[in-house]
Structure 1
Amino acid sequence: MINLGHIDSGNAFDFGNISEDYAKFRDVYPEVFFQKIHDLGLCKKEQTVLDLGTGTGVLPRHLARYGAKLIGVDISENQIAQARRLSAGMNIEYIVSPAEKVDFPDKTFDTVMACMCFTYFDKSALLSRLFRMLKDDGRFAIMSLVWLPEESAIAKRSEELVLKYNPAWNGVGYTRAKFDSDGVPTTYGVDMSLGFEVDTSFAFDVFLPFTRETWHGRMRATRGLAASSLTPEKLESFEREHRRFLNEQPESFEVLHSATFCILKKQR
């Protein structure tokens, strides 16, 4: 279990405890997300790409088609085990390690990615290490994909039910990104004195399709529920109440999400 003071009031969580659910329900990224990565030149043939906080290897598995050498890193052995299972037959390397302790020779990587995980890292330690491991024209892509509860009644009610059973969960209430004067999303908290500059930064909306079952699974596989230290009784109570709510919804529906890309370039 991991404890971070700025995450859920310091309550422990471990995505490795829900690796099977994570593998089944968290692979929700739309095709346009991967196409943007490729179009930005971040994952091309003959490049070497590192994916931090890779989880079950969602990004490497979908980006493998472009021909880059892909390496996924995650702190959880269970997550990496699922990534290896789902990547069988693909030329993807996986490593169990905290992001801040990943160690490769200087100027190894063309691109390093961190999607939906940057908040969990010691940013100063990580950026210093990435500066060394990135090539002179290398880039660090920080990305996120979050639902917008104020524009989706289903997402809003689901958040309310999670908070009923885990009021410390602070992965709620996301809105579209706001950018500071450097072009960095204000929630990312990047120290621009550590050797990087913004190459490009942008956000876009996308509707993602769900069924009652896949949305329930997506909510269950969050830090606020099955990955948290909630008691089995509280988790079961949430599941009963959430399923009752979803049974009142259409069998299939879409939830509006916002994707944010912040691409940092190593300064020479």
Structure 2
Amino acid sequence: MIVDAHQHFWNLETGDYPWLTPELGVLHRTYAPADLAPELAAVGVDRTVLVQAADSMAETESMLALADAHEFIAGVVAWLPLTDPDRTAEALADRHPKFVGVRHLIHDEPDPDWLLQDTVLTSLGLLAEAGLAFDVVSLLPRHLEHVATIAGRHPGLKLVVDHLSKPRVKDRGWQPWADLLAAAAAFPNVYAKVSGLVTEADHATWTPADLRPYVEHALRVFGTGRLMFGSDWPVALLAADYRTVFETASLLVGEQGRDDVFGGTAARFYGF
């Protein structure tokens, strides 16, 4: 089973996405399962993990409805009000069978320490008790620092760093990203997604060679058993089409780790 562990849908007519402005060009339109299904079939992807793109319960409900209607969506990483542990607990008490994880757009929060609020830490403990995962979308080094902190506080919580924490590929940035990723990887409950890298490179001129050092570092510190492929479609369309993203990741990961990174890790991590 080949799995794309990170993709999105959004509907501009029914949803509210403050970050999704006309300046984003190709992204500023509705993207639905009918748009993605042919892309999956063309490269042989069997299942996907649908990840939230807005911090709202309306987004959560919409994604779970899509998962009901489309078999290829194996799991949903949705949103819950983590700053309100009581509401989080209520939502977890009767959750959808395809509800496999939670994410919050922490990189849009003015407070870089948003994750370390007492209320959020309490809610993350509830996710651990429920066997759910938490996707960390990090932009600042501070966000990545917090992954190790949370992993140590909640060793039973499955954490995954989205997009390898967005290394500055275009500028050939390396530190402190490399050391912080290694520090996070030192905790066995932390995983990472080989995703979102093409949009961190030069959109017009990038090559697989630009991405290779970052993927190789991730392979060194996590191993294939804690890495998973994600297309980050349709965001990736800013720099490449679906097939190009898929084939580039396949090239960089290599044959030895393919079964884990392109399916096995995601299935084990998210539990489907």
TM band (smaller chain): 0.3 to 0.5
Question: Which of the pair is proportionally richer in helix?
Answer: 2
TM-score using structure 2 length: 0.32
TM-score using structure 1 length: 0.32
Determine which structure has greater relative contact order: mean sequence separation of CA pairs < 8 Å that are 6+ residues apart, divided by chain length: 1
